[in-house]
C-alpha cells in the first residue's frame, strides 16, 4: 500500500473526573473536571488518541471537524488541520483578541484550540505507521528522554463547607499519603510547605510553583518565603493570574526577590493599558524574570509582548498552540535567548503523555513543566500512564504516543460526564458557599472580598 493509512473513524467522547476544591483567582474548582477525547482509527488497524479541554462548546467544535478528518491520509495531518482552520466558522467572541489576560474562564474555550486533540490523535497514528515516537516527528526530533517537572501547589478550601449537591471526593481512607492530603484544607504557609514535602516524597520534585490569586498577596508571599526556607535549593515561583496591581506586584516581588526564581503573570490590565504594557513596566521596575500563559496565547499577542519585552518565559501550552505551534515557539524562544515552558489545567494522562512528547522535542533548556496530573493521579484512562520519578516525567519510547487507552475506563468517565449537573467549568458554585453572592473580579484574590 502506497502512502500513509487513511482515517476511517473519528469519535468525540466527553469525559469527567474528580477534583479537589482547588483555589485560584477564578474561584474554587468544582468536584468534577471535564475533558473531551478524540479517538481515531485508520485502515491499517491502528488507534490514535487525543485529549483537550471539556465542555459542550469544545465537544461541538470537535464534532464539526469530523468531515475534515474522515477519509484523509494520516500523513497529510498538517493539511487536515489547515482545512479545519480555514473551513470552521469562528464567532465574534472567539475572535475578539482579548484572550485570557483577565482570566475570564468563560473565554478560555475560545483560546483553547479544539483541533489540538485531532492533531494529537493524527500524530499518534502517523508515529505508529512510521514506527517512531511522536517526539521524533516534531521540530528537530527527540532532544531528551525525560522532562523536568515542578510540583504544582494549590491552596485548597474545606470541602465540608459546601452543600450535598457538590460532592467533592474524599480519600481519607487511602493508603497513599498524597492522595489523603490533596482532598483536605490547606490555606496556611505551614500547610503549603507540608503539601510540597509530601509531593517531593512521592514524585521527587525539586522545584515548586504556587497558584496565587487566592489570599492577599502579602499572605501568599509568606508561603513563598516558607517554601524557600524549607527548600533552599529549590526554584520557587508564584502565579497570581494577574490579580495584583502594578504597584502591589512591584512591592511584593522586590520584597521577596531572593526567594523567587520568576513570577508568572503578576499583573493584569490596568488604567486603560493591556497586561502586556503593565507587565513591561513591572519588569522595568523589578528586573525580574516573568512568565506568562495569559498575554501571549497566539502569535499576534506574542509579537506585541516581544516588542514590549513583557516576558522572558512563554508557557506555550499545546492546548493553545498545538504540537507544531508549541515546538515552533520553543525554537524561536531558544534562538532569541528566551525560555519555553508549558502551562496546564486539570487533565487526564493522555494529555500528560502528549506534554511529555512536546517537551521532549523542544530545544534548549525549558523551564520545569507544569502539570495538574498530580491532582488527578489514579484516575487513569491509560493502561500504561507515564511516570513522574525523581522530579522528571518519563517519555514513552514506543511508536506514536506509546500508550494504550483503556476503553472501560473511558466509558466510566463518559458515564460520569453525563451524570454531572454542568459540563463547562464552574468555579463560582463552591465559592458561593464560602462567600455568599461571590462574583469573579480579576483584580481581587478569590478569598479577599
DSSP codes of every residue in 5-45: -BEEEEEEEEEEEE---BEETTEE--SEEEEEEEEEEETTS
Tens of pLDDT along 259-283?
Answer: 999 999 999 999 999 999 999 999 9
Distance CA 392, CA 155 (A): 23
The C-alpha cell that represents 421 in the structure block: 449537573
What average pLDDT does this structure show over 408-436?
A: 95
Task: Please tell me whether residues 161 and 129 are part of one structural domain.
Answer: no
Nearest to 301 by CA among 327, 279, 331: 279
Task: Please tell me whether residues 238 and 356 are part of one structural domain.
Answer: yes
Three-class SS state of 122: helix
**Range with lowest mean pLDDT among 52-66, 109-123, 209-223:** 109-123
* CA torsion, ordered 378, 384, 388, 392, to nearest 10 deg: -160
211 included as an active-site residue? yes
Tens of pLDDT along 237-267?
Answer: 999 999 999 999 999 999 898 999 999 999 9
Confidence band of 17 (pLDDT split at 50, 70, 90): very high
Instruction: State how many domains the chain has.
Output: 2
Average pLDDT score, the chain: 94
Question: What totals of helices (H) and strands (E) does the chain contain, helices first?
Answer: 16, 15
pLDDT higher than threshold 80 for residue 124: yes
Query: What's the confidence (pLDDT) of residue 284?
Result: 96
Catalytic one of 206, 319, 343, 423: 343
338 phi and psi, to 5 degrees? -105, -175
End-to-end CA distance of the chain: 65
pLDDT higher than threshold 90 for residue 433: yes
Q: Which residues pair with 42 in a beta bridge?
A: 7
Query: What's the confidence (pLDDT) of residue 48?
Result: 98
The C-alpha cell that represents 41 in the structure block: 482509527
Nearest to 230 by CA among 263, 180, 192: 192
**Range with lowest mean pLDDT among 61-75, 100-114, 300-314:** 100-114
Query: What's the confidence (pLDDT) of residue 97?
Result: 47
Distance CA 117, CA 124 (A): 11
Distance CA 83, CA 86 (A): 5
Tens of pLDDT along 176-186?
Answer: 999 999 999 99
Catalytic one of 129, 142, 159, 211: 211
What average pLDDT does this structure show over 384-396?
A: 98
- Does residue 306 lie in a domain region? yes
- Does residue 432 lie in a domain region? no
Task: Please tell me whether residues 165 and 298 are part of one structural domain.
Answer: yes
Task: Please tell me whether residues 253 and 387 are part of one structural domain.
Answer: yes
Confirm whether pTM is higher than 0.85: yes
Confidence band of 116 (pLDDT split at 50, 70, 90): very high
Confidence band of 104 (pLDDT split at 50, 70, 90): low
Q: Map 393-438 to HEC letters.
A: EECCCCCECCCCECHHHHHHHHHHHHHCCCCCCCCHHHHHHHCCCC
- Does residue 447 lie in a domain region? no
Query: What's the confidence (pLDDT) of residue 63?
Result: 95
Task: Please tell me whether residues 173 and 114 are part of one structural domain.
Answer: no
Domain that holds residue 326: 140-401
With a CB cutoff of 8 Å and minimum separation 6, the contacts of 315 are: 264, 291, 292, 293, 341, 342, 343, 370
What average pLDDT does this structure show over 426-437?
A: 94
pLDDT higher than threshold 90 for residue 18: yes
**Range with lowest mean pLDDT among 101-115, 143-157, 224-238, 340-354:** 101-115
Task: Please tell me whether residues 344 and 246 are part of one structural domain.
Answer: yes
Distance CA 409, CA 180 (A): 22
Task: Please tell me whether residues 132 and 155 are part of one structural domain.
Answer: no
- Does residue 245 lie in a domain region? yes
**Range with lowest mean pLDDT among 82-96, 193-207, 316-330:** 82-96
- Does residue 390 lie in a domain region? yes
Distance CA 426, CA 182 (A): 20
pLDDT higher than threshold 50 for residue 342: yes
- Does residue 225 lie in a domain region? yes
Task: Please tell me whether residues 187 and 131 are part of one structural domain.
Answer: no
409 included as an active-site residue? no
Query: What's the confidence (pLDDT) of residue 90?
Result: 56
Query: What's the confidence (pLDDT) of residue 78?
Result: 95
Distance CA 338, CA 313 (A): 6
- Does residue 441 lie in a domain region? no
Task: Please tell me whether residues 286 and 384 are part of one structural domain.
Answer: yes
Nearest to 345 by CA among 40, 81, 105: 105
- Does residue 423 lie in a domain region? no
pLDDT higher than threshold 80 for residue 423: yes
Amino acid at each position: 500500500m502506497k502512502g500513509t493509512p487513511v482515517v476511517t473513524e473519528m469519535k468525540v467522547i466527553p469525559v469527567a473526573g474528580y477534583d479537589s476544591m482547588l483555589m485560584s483567582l477564578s474561584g474554587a474548582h468544582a468536584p468534577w473536571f471535564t475533558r473531551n477525547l478524540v479517538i481515531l482509527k485508520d485502515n491499517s488497524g491502528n488507534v490514535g488518541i487525543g485529549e483537550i479541554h471539556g465542555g459542550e462548546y469544545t465537544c461541538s467544535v470537535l464534532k464539526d471537524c469530523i468531515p475534515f478528518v474522515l477519509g484523509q491520509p494520516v500523513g497529510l495531518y498538517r493539511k487536515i488541520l489547515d482545512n479545519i482552520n480555514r473551513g470552521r466558522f469562528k464567532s465574534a467572541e472567539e475572535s475578539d483578541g482579548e484572550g485570557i489576560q483577565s482570566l475570564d474562564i468563560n473565554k478560555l474555550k475560545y483560546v483553547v484550540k479544539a483541533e489540538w486533540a485531532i492533531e494529537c490523535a493524527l500524530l499518534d497514528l502517523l508515529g505508529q505507521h512510521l514506527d517512531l515516537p511522536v517526539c521524533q516527528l516534531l521540530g528537530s526530533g527527540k532532544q531528551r528522554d525525560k522532562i523536568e517537572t515542578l510540583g504544582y501547589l494549590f491552596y485548597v478550601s474545606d470541602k465540608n463547607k459546601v452543600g450535598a449537591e457538590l460532592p467533592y471526593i474524599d480519600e481519607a481512607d487511602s493508603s497513599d499519603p498524597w492522595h489523603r492530603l490533596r482532598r483536605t484544607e490547606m490555606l496556611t504557609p505551614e500547610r503549603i510547605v507540608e503539601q510540597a514535602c509530601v509531593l517531593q516524597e512521592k514524585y521527587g520534585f525539586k522545584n515548586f510553583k504556587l497558584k496565587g490569586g487566592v489570599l492577599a498577596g502579602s499572605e501568599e508571599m509568606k508561603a513563598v518565603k516558607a517554601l524557600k526556607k524549607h527548600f533552599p535549593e529549590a526554584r520557587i515561583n508564584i502565579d497570581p493570574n494577574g490579580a495584583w496591581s502594578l504597584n502591589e506586584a512591584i512591592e511584593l516581588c522586590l520584597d521577596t526577590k531572593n526567594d523567587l526564581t520568576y513570577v508568572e503573570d503578576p499583573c493584569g490590565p490596568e488604567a486603560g493599558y493591556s497586561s502586556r504594557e503593565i507587565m513591561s513596566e513591572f519588569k522595568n521596575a523589578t528586573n525580574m524574570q516573568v512568565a506568562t500563559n495569559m498575554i501571549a496565547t497566539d502569535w499576534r499577542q506574542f509579537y506585541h509582548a516581544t516588542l514590549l519585552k513583557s516576558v522572558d518565559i512563554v508557557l506555550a501550552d499545546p492546548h493553545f498552540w498545538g504540537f507544531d505551534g508549541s515546538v515552533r515557539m520553543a525554537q524561536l524562544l531558544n534562538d532569541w535567548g528566551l525560555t519555553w515552558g508549558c502551562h496546564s489545567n486539570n487533565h487526564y494522562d493522555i494529555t500528560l503523555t502528549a506534554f511529555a512528547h512536546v517537551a521532549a522535542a523542544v530545544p534548549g533548556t525549558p523551564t520545569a513543566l507544569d502539570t495538574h496530573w498530580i491532582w488527578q493521579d489514579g484516575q487513569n484512562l491509560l493502561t500504561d500512564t507515564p511516570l513522574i520519578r525523581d522530579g522528571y516525567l518519563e517519555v514513552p519510547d514506543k511508536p506514536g504516543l506509546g500508550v494504550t487507552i483503556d476503553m472501560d475506563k473511558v466509558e466510566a468517565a463518559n458515564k460520569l460526564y453525563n451524570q454531572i449537573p454542568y459540563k463547562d467549568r464552574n468555579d463560582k458554585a463552591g465559592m458561593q458557599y464560602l462567600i455568599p453572592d461571590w462574583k469573579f473580579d480579576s483584580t481581587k484574590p478569590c478569598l479577599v472580598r
